[in-house]
Structure formats: C-alpha cells, structure tokens
C-alpha cells in the first residue's frame, strides 16, 4: 500500500509531511506485528505507539476536513464534488 501512494513534494506543509510520516510508521508497525515474531513486550510497545500514531492521523484528518468546510463556507456557490485523482 505504501508503494502506491504518491510522495508529497518538498513544498508540502509540515502538517502534510507529519501525517505521511506517521502513516508510514504506522504501516511499518502493522507489518512487524502481523509477522508475529516480536516479543510480547515489544509487541505491546508497538501497539501503544500505533495507537498514538492513529490518534495523530485522525487529528490531522479532522483538521483538514475542518479547513475544507471553512473554505466551502467562504464560497457559498461551491458544492462538494467527488474526488477524481486524474484531474
């Protein structure tokens, strides 16, 4: 999944790169835990870190959604549209 995601440009904001970094780390933790070859103590630490990363990602997404809502409210003629990554 990480391989198919487009990399963010160097011009992207710190929040976007923080989100991408957290998501990448979370994917690595999940892969390591799925292998089941770590000690219980390490697996618990990975799980705890994963929870923190998940919360961080959820917060970033909520903030982005709020910004989108604010922008839509500023332009009363705008309406939500389906996302098309090809355009």
Q: What is the pLDDT along the chain (87 residues), one digit of tens a residue?
A: 444 444 444 444 577 789 999 999 999 999 998 998 889 999 999 999 999 999 999 999 999 999 998 888 886 676 777 777 776
Q: Give the integer Cα–Cα distance in Å for 57 and 73.
A: 24
Question: In this structure, are residues 34 and 68 in contact, taking their beta carbons and an 8 Å threshold?
Answer: no
pLDDT of residue 3: 42
Give the three-state DSSP class for 43. helix
**Predicted TM-score of the model (pTM):** 0.63
pLDDT of residue 6: 43
Domains plus CATH for the chain? 15-72 (1.10.287.1040)
Name which of 44, 43, 63, 52 is nearest 23 in CA terms.
52
pLDDT of residue 38: 87
The token pair at 24 is: 């990448």
pLDDT of residue 7: 43
Question: In this structure, are residues 32 and 46 in contact, taking their beta carbons and an 8 Å threshold?
Answer: yes
């Amino acid at each position: 999944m990480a391989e198919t995601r487009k990399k963010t440009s160097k011009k992207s904001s710190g929040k976007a790169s923080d989100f991408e970094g957290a998501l990448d780390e979370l994917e690595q933790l999940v892969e390591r835990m799925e292998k089941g070859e770590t000690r219980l103590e390490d697996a618990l630490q990975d799980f705890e870190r994963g929870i923190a990363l998940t919360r961080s990602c959820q917060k970033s997404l909520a903030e982005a959604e709020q910004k989108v809502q604010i922008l839509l409210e500023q332009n009363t003629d705008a309406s939500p549209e389906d996302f098309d990554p090809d355009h």
